[in-house]
Amino acid sequence: MSETSIKYRDEIQALKSLLDMFKLERRVYILLSILSTIILITCAFFLILSDSHKENNKVNIATSVGMFGSSGAIAYTTNKLLKMWNDAIIIISKLYQRINKWLTKRQY
């Protein structure tokens, strides 16, 4: 095995360990996204079921605030998850391109 292939194997192992390090953080963001989605659907359900002709504006305001807060949490957590995966994919694609160049040079 050449030194270059060992180097690439080490880089792949480092990437795997990096992804494993942030596994808990990804799971927390996914859990928060699911919880926020449940809150959003529940608030929308209560808003639809509430009688808008009554003078009960407090329920509608609380429901509306719940909808805005949970939709903001969904946007934030989804953004963080997508950023994590985007960074990992960029690292993987750069590594793949270097390995591909190395294999091409090795063939000729």
Structural domain spans, the chain = 22-107
> Cβ distance 35 to 66 under 8 Å?
no
pLDDT at 32: 93
pTM of structure: 0.68
CA distance 105 to 108: 5
pLDDT at 105: 79
One digit per residue, the tens of pLDDT, for the chain of length 108 reads: 567 667 778 777 877 887 888 889 889 999 999 999 999 999 888 877 776 556 555 667 777 788 889 999 999 999 998 998 888 888 888 888 888 887 787 776
pLDDT at 36: 93
The two tokens of residue 15 are 């990437």
> Cβ distance 95 to 12 under 8 Å?
yes
Question: In sequence order, what E strands does the chain have?
Answer: none
